[in-house]
Structure 1
Amino acid sequence: MEKGLVLKSTGNRYKVRLENGKTLDCVARGRLRLNEIKTTNPLTVGDWVDVEVRDDGTGLITLIHERKNYIIRKATNLSREAHIIAANIDQALLIVTITQPETQLAFIDRYLVTAEAYRIPTILVFNKVDLIDESLKPVLNSYISIYESIGYKCLQVSAKENINIDLLKETLKDKVSLLSGNSGVGKSTLINLIEPGLNLKTAEISAAHLKGRHTTTFSEIFELSFGGYIIDTPGIKSFGLVDIDKNELYHFFPEIFKLSEKCKYYNCTHIHEPGCAVIEAAEKGEIAPSRYLSYLSIYDDENEKYRPKLK
């Protein structure tokens, strides 16, 4: 039996690199499950597994080692099943663009909530800053202000103009980093710039809709020549949350969690209760309106009538 790292998952077939450096095509034995969450994929990139090497040079995965963490999303908007994107992650880098395409604040917040829930530190990487003209600078500054004030690190980069790429490489060095983002934000282009030998496929933005086309079909992990690993993921159009108790949702909004200690009621939902410090802060503009609206949206879309007036 050999121990190995799952490098790529394509349906029910896996590419696994053994500790001796050899890479095998593998299948999994039976129903491998680590927990009670119903997922479309029992195995994911970043998993450490035990492999039985067969005579024909392929492998049979017999065991998944316990995960340090993982990040998960709904398989589709209409599905109750979940899809595990990656496991055993040191940090997540969410690639964000202000234009071509525009990353919505609600999408960023849903991603951050999931990362917080699974204890994965997250950095926001604002790509394509070369496209930011005077009209878009206030938008970029507003985004960065919202998230830096909460405690999230923000990087401004441009793959096209090679802006701050060295800083990005330093951020990735010796870490297992998950790279995510909407289609078209430039993940594959950034990865190619960081590690040219990978030569990942890239695609142009659709001029008609200013949206990206999917170039990555499956998650895959790559070793970096300067130390560390990056996990490239398919472009995500939406981010459905799973396995999060809505009464604990405020734990995953750092600014709301901090204020919750001042609420009148210990079981405050921060939506309609009197003496709620969070509502008071939202009404005064001390919490970014977009963040509080994201909280309400995720908690319960039917709570529209309770929403306070925001500045």
Structure 2
Amino acid sequence: MDRGNNSEVSKFIFEGLTQRPELQIPLLLRFLSIYVVTVVGNLGMITLISITSHLHTPMYYLLSSLSFIDLCHSTVITPKMLVNFVSEKNIISYNECMTQLYFFLIFIIAECHMLAAMAYDRYVAICSPLLYNVIMSHQVCIWLVGGVYMMGLVGATVYTGFMLRVFFCKDNVINHYFCDLNPLLELSCSRTYINEVVVVCLSTFNICIPTLTIASSYIFIIASILHIRSTEGRSKAFSTCSSHMAAVGFFFGSAAFMYLQPSSVSSMEQGKVSSVFYTILVPMLNPLIYSLRNKDVKAAMKKLLERRMFW
């Protein structure tokens, strides 16, 4: 990203999660361990699905795409944050900041719509099982995943394009641990009304539409589950749905708290805490939730480990 012609600021300084020196190393170790689990979990999920033939289905194709998004999403944010814990000054150049913002937005928007695509896939599988292979064909899956990334690219380009027009003149201290929309707008020396409208409108679309899709899908899914006669089958289905809904709730709830509140009401300190959920914790939790609650993934993992032991 080229530096905006109207901006006098050439670099920014992150305030980070905390200003207390005694917390820097404990937080570094905690977030480093979370990032390691995130990388291992998501790379493991992608690898397992790619090498296991009976997992080559639409559901797992979407799940591996979610793992890729989570891996990239976390990598855009966490390594820089970890370096900042041990740096004397948490500095990032203007160009690096805009680049981080752009890629962060691509993957955060893509994750919103990928979760909606996965909920739709489960709706078709449970409510129309006989038509599943027709409705969720290989071509449809490619179109869904392509559409998800297109949404991310278009949304990120619009957001970042408007941000490049913002004038930064003196204050360059970002009250956050990465380059995000609202903390950057707080530093602007120019009017940000249009930017704030764009943030609210696009955030409403990218959060509310997928949320409504997911909610509608799960309403129909739960209605179908209630018709299952087997108590054991019903409890297993509810258990799986509840874990998926918890992951979705964490992600969309924290994102909505950050982006859908008016700037006059929102607190950046609270925003930083909510950002930890959707930028760091959710990418770690997703592979755990979608694997530990899935008997096919556990069986494939067990078979792979047994094969490794005999080599």
* TM-score interval, smaller chain: under 0.3
Q: Normalising by structure 2, report the TM-score.
A: 0.24
Higher relative contact order (CA 8 A, sep 6+): 2
Q: Normalising by structure 1, report the TM-score.
A: 0.24
Structure number with the higher helix fraction is: 2
